[in-house]
Amino acid sequence: MDDDYYLSCEEDEEEEEDDYDKVDYDQYEQAQREETTKSTSRIMTNESLVAAQKEVLARVMELLTLKKSQARTLLIHYQWNVDKLLDVYSERGKDSLFKTAGLTVFSHTSLSESRYSLRKKMTCEICMDDDLQSYTMTRMDCGHCFCNNCWKEHFTVKINEGMSKRITCMAHKCNAICDEDVVKKLVYPELAEKFDRFLVESYVDDNKRVKWCPSTPHCGNAIRREDDGGEVECSCGHQFCFSCLSESHSPCSCLMWKLWKKKCEDESETLNWITVHTRMCPKCSKSVQRSDGCNLMTCICGQHFCWLCGGATGLSHTGTTIDGHSCGKFKEEKVKQIEIAKRDLKRYTHYYHQYRSHTDSSKQEFKLRESVREKVASLSEKTLKSEQKWASNGADLLFRSRKVLSYTYVFAFYMFGEELFKDEMSDEEREMKKILFENLQQQLIGYIESLSKTLNQPFDDYSSDELEKMSDETMRFGIVVDNLCKEMYECIENELLGPTVAGHNHSIAPYRSEGIEKAIEFWC
């Protein structure tokens, strides 16, 4: 596709549009079909989590001839990255591997040892009971032996504290991890179940590649992803950023998004508003809002004062002067502070309104996706339904690109503001880049609105001619929207973030014509 196509499509659409539409539309369809095969994200339900974990544990147990609890301790230490674990093993050997994970290889004789013979009375060093049979005692791998009641109490406390992934031995200064089978055998069944659940969850919690879907209410799924970062869609429909687990926010970086959310929530903008619109009463220190253009302020305490300098005055005044009050005491610093607050407030308000209005539209267009599908389903038999994919594809693209558009305002707020990129470019440079970016934004808005208008037509009782016209338009606008989105991301990468030093702290989830990657079901 020619890069300038959308700029020139109005002049030469007659000759070119048919070919371009066909070619690109096929590619677009192709991209959608290939999605599932090249997806790098997998859905993991509770069952597949258990299965995947079992498989990894079995592999490590077999390769290194270990007990399950030892294998688990190692895996938790290596964040369930088997390859890394095996690398350390082959490079540095078993002892080193164990040492780094806080494990010790113990070789001691088992309970059948003669000095623990059935007849001999034993003492538990914890409760000091000295009249114990050996079968009421349990010896851990580290060699420490205590009575079952003491162990049970220890495990119960630890599980209830939520520390069950690594329950260490009770002996003073012994850091050995207790055998999970012994733990489960000694505690109450409900607790053993809870313990099991913790162990399964540790596969997600300590695993860099696996994260819980952050949907609320939680859908129960975890997602395993082979690529770093990026955005993903869970089978429950929730789309989120794999790096920060917020809702998807590309082309805004995680840091920008975090700052923006905080800004929208907290007091900083309210404070700016107060600085700009109110003055503190010199007598009682209450904030007083200016109600008209007059410089004389009156507090509810009865005190009159001057809007310009905040100094106490009498009541008698004209529009510009207050009797007996000579102003000019208004400190320069205060003026500056108010000017900055005013400018920041204005800037934030501008970007916030753009962001909000496109976010609101995207909510409408989320519903439009459904209604478009319903209309397609209700089309009469004579218009083949299979040919109406352009409608639902168009509605999906509309929703997606609108979201991209709304996040570009958050991106622009930080890119061209002073908070993150102040010293990265000269004022002239900043202005030029801002114009370039806003130009793309404006073009994108235009085509998104056209696409939206087209798809909002009541096409369920259109004739086939009308339908054809609508599908042509939808596809034409869709291709331009898609290309503009791509161009916008290229601009961000090559012109805006790329050349700056701070830009390296901002990784942007890539734009995908086919939409946010859908995690696919996991089969073991």
Nearer to Zn ion (CB atom), residue 254 or residue 341: 254
The CA distance from 169 to 432, in Å, is 65
- Residue 457 CB contacts under 8 Å (≥ 6 apart), including other chains: 470
Instruction: Work out how close the CB of 113 gets to Zn ion at its nearest, in angstroms, rounded to a whole number.
Output: 17
Nearer to Zn ion (CB atom), residue 208 or residue 283: 283
The CA distance from 383 to 112, in Å, is 82
Position 486, amino acid = K
Which residue in the block uniquely carries the two structure tokens 């890069």?
A: 3
Instruction: Work out how close the CB of 127 gets to Zn ion at its nearest, in angstroms, rounded to a whole number.
Output: 3
Nearer to Zn ion (CB atom), residue 309 or residue 398: 309
Nearer to Zn ion (CB atom), residue 43 or residue 376: 43
Instruction: Work out how close the CB of 462 gets to Zn ion at its nearest, in angstroms, rounded to a whole number.
Output: 37
Give φ, ψ of 382 to 5 degrees: -65, -30
The CA distance from 400 to 397, in Å, is 5
Instruction: Work out how close the CB of 294 gets to Zn ion at its nearest, in angstroms, rounded to a whole number.
Output: 3
Nearer to Zn ion (CB atom), residue 221 or residue 471: 221
> Listing from the earlier edge strand, what are the strands of the sheet with 520-521?
210-212, 222-225, 41-44, 520-521
Nearer to Zn ion (CB atom), residue 36 or residue 287: 287
The DSSP secondary structure of 99-143, one letter per residue, reads HHTT--------TTSGGG-TTS-B--TTT----B-GGGEEE-TTS
Given the residues 142, 294, 309, 491, the one annotated as active site: 294
Instruction: Work out how close the CB of 301 gets to Zn ion at its nearest, in angstroms, rounded to a whole number.
Output: 3
The CA distance from 259 to 250, in Å, is 14
The CA distance from 307 to 227, in Å, is 58
Residues forming the site for Zn ion (CB under 5 A): 124, 126-127, 142, 144, 147, 150, 169, 171, 174, 176, 213, 215, 219, 221, 234, 236, 238, 241, 243-244, 254, 281, 283-284, 294, 296, 299, 301, 303, 306, 308-309, 311, 327
First-residue to last-residue Cα distance in the chain: 41
Contacts 24+ apart (CB under 8 A), 3-7: 3/483, 3/487, 5/479, 5/480, 5/483, 6/443, 6/447, 6/479, 6/480, 6/483, 6/484
The question of whether 241 is a catalytic residue gets the answer: no
Report the catalytic residues.
Answer: 294
